[in-house]
C-alpha cells in the first residue's frame, strides 16, 4: 500500500523567521513519544488517596428502592458506599436543564446509570467489591427507540420548527418529487484516555480538582453546586486530555462531582477512573438521528421545496441535546440554498445514555441528510450528482441567505469544488468506474464529491468570549495561560506561535501552562472548533499589551514614536538602536514597567434569537470538499475506501502540520461513524457494543492507499487571528463523501432494481446494512 500523501504546497509562505505559518511540532510531542507527558492517572498521588468504582443500574427504567451492599462492605479495604443521600448540596447536577441527578434518587433511567460509588483503599479492591453490590430495582416500561419516543411524545425538550418560504406550495408545484426515510447511528468517542477525575479536599472548605475536561469552568461550577459552595472555593486544573472529541465537554463534570462527593464523605482525596466498558455504559454518544423527507425539484435537480423531519435520540436527559439539535437544523442546508423549506426537529427522550457533544455537534447529522437527498435527486434524474450539487450551491450575490436568515458572505465553493473536481480527475474516474461496474458482477465501485460549509462560533452567543494571561519574566522567557484546553489538537502550540510572533521572540521562549480556573475564570468550553479563534486572540491581545509597554519604554529612551519600534527575531528595533529582547526586559523591570498583562476577546458581529432560530449565529464559515472512491462486495456487503482527495479551507494556516493532521484525523473519524462504528442496544436497553471487541473504530488498515490533502490558499475574509480559520470539526463532514460513494456503489449493484429509486442505506454502512440496501438481507 502506498503511503498517504499530504501537502501544504498551496499555503502562503510566512514572513522570515515568524512562528505562525510554519509546521512546528506539537508542544508535547517529544514528551508524548518518550512517555513523559503526564495525564491525570500519571500524576503523583497524595497520602491517603482512596479509589472509587461506580455502582451501575442493570435496568433501563425502573423504581430504585436502594442497594444491598452488605457483602461488599465486608470485603478487605472497602471504606463504604456513596449514594444520593451523601450529596451535601443540590442532588441534581447544575446542567442547564436541571434534569439529571448526581446519583439516581428514586428511579433509574438507563442501564449504566450511576446509582452511587463504592470506595476502597485500592483500585482493584474497589472494582472487585462493587460487583458484590446489588441494586434493588423494580422494572418499569422503557422507551428505547426514536419511533417509540415519537409515538409517546417523549421529549427531553420541546420540538423546534423552522420555516422559510412556502414548502408545501413549493412541493405541490414541483415538476419532480421524492419521499424517503433513513437513519444514522450514534458514535462512541473512544478517547484514548478514559473519563477520570481526582478530588482533593483542602483547608477551609477549599477543593482542588484534577479533571480530564474540555470545560474546567463548568466542572468548577458543578462541583461547587454539588458541595454547596461558592465557585471560588473550587480550583480545577487540566494540563492535557488524551482525547476529548466533545465527550469531555459536559460529561467530564459527572466524574468530578462523583469523586468530590466521595471525598467530602470520607474527608480524603478520591480518584475515580472509568474502565473502558464502564465508560461505554455510563457516558453519552453522538446523537443517533432518524430522518423523513419530502423533496420537490426541477429538471436540473435544483430543490424547489423541502419538508424535513429530524428526530434526535437524546437519551434520558437534555445534556447538550438542545444546541446539538439546533446545529443540525442550521446545517441541514450544508452548502445549498433552500428557498422553500420547513424543518421539524424532535428531541426524543429514551431510556439510554444521555447523548452529548461529539465533533461536529449536530452539524454532521444535518449535512448527511441534505447530501443524501441530493444524491437521490441525481439518481432520479439520471444526472451526475456533482452537477446537481453545483446547481444548488449558495450564490455569491443572490440565493445567498440561509433558512435561518444569515447572509452567506464568504462562499468560496464555486471556485473550490471545480478545482477539486479537476485535481481529483473526477469525470475521468467516473467514466472508468462505470466501465468497471459494467463488467464486474460482484465488486462494484462508487465515487462522490461532497462539500462542507460549517459555521464557526458557539450558537449560544455568550460563550464566544475568552481570556488569557501573558507573563514576561526578567530573563525574557514568556509564560502564557488561557482558558482553552489541550486534548491533542495542538491548541497550546498555536497559541504559543501567536504570542511568539506578537512579542517577536523565538517559539521556544514561550511556554503555555495548564488550564486553571484560578488563573482565567469563567472560560468557555474548548469546543465549537473555536479554541484558537477565541483563546489565540485573547493571548495575542495580552501579549500586545506587554509589547506596547515595552515599546513605550524604548521610545522614551530613544526619543521616537512608539509606532516606530519593531519586535522581531528576539530583538527590539528602534530607528536608532537594536537591542536584545532579553536586555530590554531587564531594563524595563529595573524601571518598574509592567511585564505581564491579561487579554480578553469577544467574537464580533454575531447575534441569534434562540426562540426563532434566526440571526447571525456564526462569525464565518469554513469550507472544504472531498472526493472519495469506494468498492463494495455485493455478496458479503464488505466495503473499502480506495482513494480520498481533499481540498480544505483553513484560511492562512497558523500551523500547516497540525491543520493537516486535524483534517486527516477528522476525516477518518467521520469515516468510522459512517462505515464501521455501530452502536447496538438490545431489546432490554443494554448496550451490546461496549468494548473494542464489538465496537470497531477505523484501524491503520482502513486508511485508503491514496489519501491526499491540500489546503485552500486564501485568508479568512473576517478579521480572525492570523487570517486563519477553525479546523477541528469541519473536516469530519468531508467523510460524507464516503457514504455517498457507497450509496452510488450500492445503486450500481442492485440486481433488477429501478436505477432511479432512492438508495436506503442506514449509517453506519456495515456489511449487514450494505446487504440490506442491496436487497440481499431482510430484517
Angle 414-418-420 from CA coordinates, rounded to 5°: 120
Q: Which three cell numbers stand for residue 501?
A: 510572533
Helix H or strand E encompassing 234: strand 234-238
Per the DSSP assignment, residues forming a β-bridge with 687 are: 681
Q: What distance in Å separates the CA atoms of residue 129 and residue 118, rounded to the nearest whole number?
A: 7
Q: Which three cell numbers stand for residue 68?
A: 444491598
Burial class (CB in 10 A: 0-12, 13-18, 19+), 606: buried
Q: What distance in Å separates the CA atoms of residue 545 and residue 549, rounded to the nearest whole number?
A: 6
Strands (E), 15-97: 50-56, 62-68, 78-82
Q: Which three cell numbers stand for residue 115?
A: 446509582
- CB burial string 506-534: b at 16+ within 10 A, e below: ebebbbbebbbbebbeebbbbbbbbbbbb
Helix H or strand E encompassing 72: helix 70-73
Q: What distance in Å separates the CA atoms of residue 289 and residue 58, rounded to the nearest whole number?
A: 25
**What number of helices (H) and strands (E) belong to the chain?**
20, 30
- Among the options 486, 502, 729, 740, which is catalytic? 729
Burial class (CB in 10 A: 0-12, 13-18, 19+), 148: middle
Question: Is residue 237 within 8 Å of 186, Cβ to Cβ?
Answer: no
From the list 228, 194, 226, 187, the residue with the least C-alpha distance to 211 is 194
SS3 (DSSP) at 149: helix
Question: Is residue 133 within 8 Å of 72, Cβ to Cβ?
Answer: yes
Q: Roughly what angle, to the nearest 10 degrees, separates helices 413-423 and 426-439?
A: 50
Q: Which three cell numbers stand for residue 468?
A: 488569557
SS3 (DSSP) at 299: coil
Question: Is residue 336 within 8 Å of 295, Cβ to Cβ?
Answer: no
Q: What distance in Å separates the CA atoms of residue 332 and residue 342, rounded to the nearest whole number?
A: 11
Q: What distance in Å separates the CA atoms of residue 120 and residue 359, rounded to the nearest whole number?
A: 36
Question: Is residue 548 within 8 Å of 566, Cβ to Cβ?
Answer: no
Q: What distance in Å separates the CA atoms of residue 411 and residue 717, rounded to the nearest whole number?
A: 10
Helices marked H in 504-633: 531, 537-558, 581-590
Would residue 486 show up in a list of annotated catalytic residues for this protein? Answer: no
Place of cell 428505547: 144
753 to each of 259, 663, 759, how far by Cα in Å?
A: 57, 37, 10
- Give 110's DSSP letter: S
Angle 715-721-722 from CA coordinates, rounded to 5°: 50
The catalytic residue positions are 729
Amino acid at each position: 500500500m502506498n503511503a498517504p500523501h499530504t501537502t501544504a504546497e498551496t499555503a502562503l509562505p510566512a514572513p522570515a523567521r515568524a512562528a505562525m505559518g510554519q509546521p512546528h511540532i506539537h508542544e508535547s510531542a517529544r514528551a508524548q513519544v518518550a512517555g513523559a507527558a503526564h495525564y491525570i492517572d500519571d500524576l503523583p498521588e497524595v497520602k491517603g488517596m482512596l479509589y472509587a468504582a461506580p455502582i451501575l443500574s442493570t435496568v433501563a427504567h425502573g423504581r430504585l428502592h436502594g442497594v444491598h451492599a452488605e457483602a461488599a462492605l465486608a470485603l478487605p479495604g472497602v471504606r463504604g458506599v456513596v449514594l444520593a443521600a451523601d450529596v451535601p448540596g443540590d442532588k441534581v447536577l447544575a446542567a442547564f436543564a436541571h434534569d439529571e441527578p448526581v446519583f439516581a434518587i428514586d428511579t433509574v433511567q438507563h442501564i449504566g446509570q450511576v446509582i452511587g460509588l463504592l470506595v476502597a483503599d485500592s483500585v482493584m479492591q474497589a472494582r472487585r467489591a462493587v460487583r458484590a453490590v446489588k441494586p434493588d430495582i423494580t422494572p418499569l416500561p422503557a422507551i428505547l427507540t426514536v419511533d417509540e419516543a415519537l409515538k409517546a411524545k417523549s421529549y427531553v425538550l420541546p420540538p423546534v420548527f423552522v420555516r422559510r418560504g412556502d414548502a408545501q406550495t413549493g412541493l405541490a408545484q414541483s415538476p419532480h418529487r421524492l419521499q424517503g426515510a433513513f437513519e444514522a447511528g450514534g458514535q462512541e468517542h473512544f478517547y484514548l484516555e478514559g473519563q477520570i477525575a481526582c478530588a482533593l479536599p483542602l483547608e477551609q472548605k477549599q477543593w482542588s480538582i484534577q479533571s480530564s475536561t474540555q470545560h474546567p469552568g463548568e466542572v468548577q461550577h458543578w462541583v461547587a453546586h454539588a458541595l454547596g459552595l461558592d465557585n471560588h472555593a473550587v480550583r480545577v486544573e487540566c494540563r492535557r486530555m488524551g482525547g476529548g472529541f466533545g465527550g469531555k465537554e459536559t460529561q467530564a463534570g459527572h466524574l468530578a462531582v462523583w469523586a468530590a462527593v466521595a471525598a467530602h464523605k470520607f474527608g480524603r482525596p478520591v480518584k475515580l477512573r472509568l474502565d473502558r466498558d464502564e465508560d461505554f455504559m455510563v457516558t453519552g454518544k453522538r446523537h443517533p438521528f432518524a430522518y423523513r423527507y419530502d423533496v420537490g425539484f426541477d429538471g436540473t435537480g435544483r430543490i424547489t421545496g423541502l419538508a424535513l423531519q429530524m428526530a434526535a435520540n437524546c437519551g434520558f436527559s437534555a445534556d447538550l441535546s438542545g444546541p446539538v439539535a439546533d446545529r443540525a437544523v442550521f446545517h441541514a442546508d450544508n452548502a445549498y440554498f433552500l428557498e422553500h423549506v420547513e424543518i421539524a426537529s424532535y428531541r426524543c427522550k429514551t431510556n439510554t445514555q444521555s447523548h452529548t457533544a461529539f465533533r461536529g455537534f449536530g452539524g454532521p447529522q444535518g449535512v448527511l441528510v441534505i447530501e443524501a437527498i441530493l444524491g437521490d435527486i441525481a439518481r432520479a434524474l439520471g444526472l451526475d450528482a456533482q452537477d446537481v450539487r453545483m446547481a444548488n450551491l449558495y450564490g455569491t450575490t443572490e440565493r445567498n441567505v440561509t433558512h435561518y436568515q444569515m447572509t452567506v458572505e464568504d462562499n468560496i465553493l464555486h471556485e473550490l469544488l471545480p478545482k477539486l473536481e479537476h485535481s481529483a480527475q473526477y469525470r475521468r474516474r467516473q467514466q472508468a468506474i462505470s466501465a468497471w461496474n459494467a463488467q464486474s458482477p460482484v465488486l462494484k465501485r462508487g465515487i462522490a464529491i461532497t462539500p462542507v460549509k460549517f459555521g464557526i462560533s458557539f450558537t449560544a452567543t455568550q460563550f464566544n468570549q475568552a481570556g488569557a494571561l501573558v507573563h514576561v519574566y526578567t530573563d525574557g522567557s514568556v509564560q502564557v495561560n488561557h482558558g482553552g484546553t489541550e486534548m491533542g489538537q495542538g491548541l497550546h502550540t498555536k497559541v504559543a506561535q501567536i504570542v511568539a510572533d506578537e512579542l517577536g521572540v523565538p517559539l521556544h521562549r514561550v511556554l503555555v501552562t495548564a488550564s486553571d480556573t484560578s488563573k482565567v475564570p469563567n472560560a468557555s468550553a474548548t469546543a465549537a472548533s473555536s479554541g484558537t479563534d477565541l483563546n489565540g486572540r485573547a493571548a495575542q491581545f495580552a501579549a500586545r499589551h506587554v509589547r506596547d509597554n515595552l515599546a513605550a519604554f524604548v521610545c522614551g529612551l530613544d526619543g521616537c514614536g512608539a509606532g516606530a519600534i519593531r519586535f522581531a527575531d528576539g530583538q527590539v528595533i528602534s530607528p536608532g538602536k537594536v537591542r536584545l529582547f532579553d536586555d530590554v526586559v531587564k531594563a524595563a523591570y529595573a524601571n518598574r514597567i509592567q511585564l505581564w498583562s491579561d487579554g480578553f476577546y469577544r467574537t464580533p458581529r454575531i447575534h441569534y434569537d434562540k426562540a426563532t432560530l434566526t440571526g447571525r449565529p456564526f462569525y464565518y464559515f469554513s469550507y472544504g470538499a472531498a472526493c472519495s472512491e469506494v468498492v463494495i462486495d455485493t455478496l458479503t456487503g464488505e466495503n473499502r475506501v480506495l482513494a480520498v482527495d481533499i481540498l480544505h479551507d483553513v484560511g492562512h494556516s497558523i500551523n500547516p502540520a497540525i491543520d493537516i493532521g486535524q483534517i486527516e484525523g477528522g476525516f477518518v473519524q467521520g469515516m468510522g461513524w459512517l462505515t464501521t462504528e455501530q452502536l447496538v442496544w438490545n431489546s432490554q436497553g443494554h448496550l451490546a457494543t461496549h468494548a473494542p471487541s464489538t465496537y470497531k473504530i477505523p484501524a491503520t488498515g482502513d486508511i485508503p492507499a491514496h489519501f491526499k490533502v491540500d489546503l485552500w490558499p486564501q485568508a479568512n475574509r473576517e478579521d480572525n487571528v492570523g487570517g486563519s480559520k477553525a479546523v477541528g470539526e469541519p473536516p469530519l463532514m468531508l467523510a460524507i463523501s464516503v457514504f455517498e460513494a457507497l450509496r452510488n456503489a450500492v445503486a450500481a449493484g442492485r440486481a433488477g432494481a429501478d436505477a432511479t429509486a432512492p438508495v436506503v442505506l442506514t449509517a453506519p454502512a456495515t456489511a449487514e446494512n450494505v446487504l440490506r440496501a442491496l436487497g440481499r438481507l431482510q430484517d
